[in-house]
Amino acid sequence: MNAIEHPLPFASWESRGFWEGAGRGELVLQRCEACGLVQHRPRGVCAHCLDGSALTHFTASGSGEIYSFTITEQNQAKGFAEACPYVMAYVKLDEGPRLLTVIVDCDPDDAAVGARVVADYVSQNRDDAEVFAVPVFRLG
């Protein structure tokens, strides 16, 4: 079992704040100061106001709990095939929204709905000027 080779994230201007934040070791979410919504995935507008003028980025705690998960035993995709079995999970962040991620350094038998997790960041070697990382989580 090898570490996952994460495909390089591609950032649009809508999602740039998230990936740049991860590059700094921060989990960055969006909040609409007009209605209070904390949303993920990031968008160019608040999905409820349909307006981006009050949208801000903030650094979340990086803590949450496993909402659900699976132990992936088969995935032919490059970067994942050699990493099976790996724990893919939805994590419910303490700030509210849920995100898709993987739980690293986790014995498959230790993964559980409701388990507390914290964010970590896998740096990317890229051939462009971006400094991005992929947020992953570990039990803790």
Partner 1 sequence: MTTTAFPRGAAIAGVYEHPSRFSPNKTEFQIMAESAKGALDDAGLQRTDVDGLFGASMSMGLMGIVDLAEYLDLYPDYLDGTNIGGSSFVAHVTHAAAAVNAGLCQVALVLYGSTAASNSMAIGTGGTGGSRNPDAAFSAPYGMTTVGSYATYANLHMDTYGTTSEQLAEIAVTMRQHASLNPRAKMRNPITVNDVLDSRMISRPLHLLDCCIISDGGGAVVVTSLERARDLAKPPVQLLGCGEAVQHQGVGYSDILTIAAKQSGARAFEMAGVKHSDIDLAMIYDSFTITVLATLENLGFCPVGEGGNFVSNGGIALGGTLPVNPDGGGLSSNHPGMRGIFLVIEAVKQLRDECDARQVPKAELALAHGTGGTIGDKHSGATLILGVDR
Is there binding between residue 2 and partner 1 (CB under 8 A)? no
Q: Give the number of residues in contact with partner 1, rule: CB under 8 A.
A: 51
Q: Are strands 28-32 and 55-59 parallel, antiparallel or unpaired?
A: antiparallel
Q: By CB under 8 A, name the one of 55, 101, 120, 121 that touches partner 1.
A: 101
- The beta strands (E) that lie in the chain are given as 28-32, 38-39, 55-59, 63-72, 86-93, 98-103, 116-123, 133-139
| Of 56, 59, 61, 70, the one binding partner 1 by CB under 8 A | 70
Q: What is the identity of the amino acid at 112?
A: A
Binding of residue 125 to partner 1 (CB under 8 A)? no
Among 28, 60, 80, 119, binds partner 1 (CB under 8 A): 80
67 phi/psi in degrees, rounded to 5 = -85, -50
Grouping H, G, I as helix, E, B as strand and the rest as coil, residue 23 is helix
Binding site residues, partner 1, CB under 8 A = 4, 6-12, 14-15, 19, 37-41, 47-48, 67-80, 83, 85-86, 88-90, 93, 96-102, 108, 112-114, 134
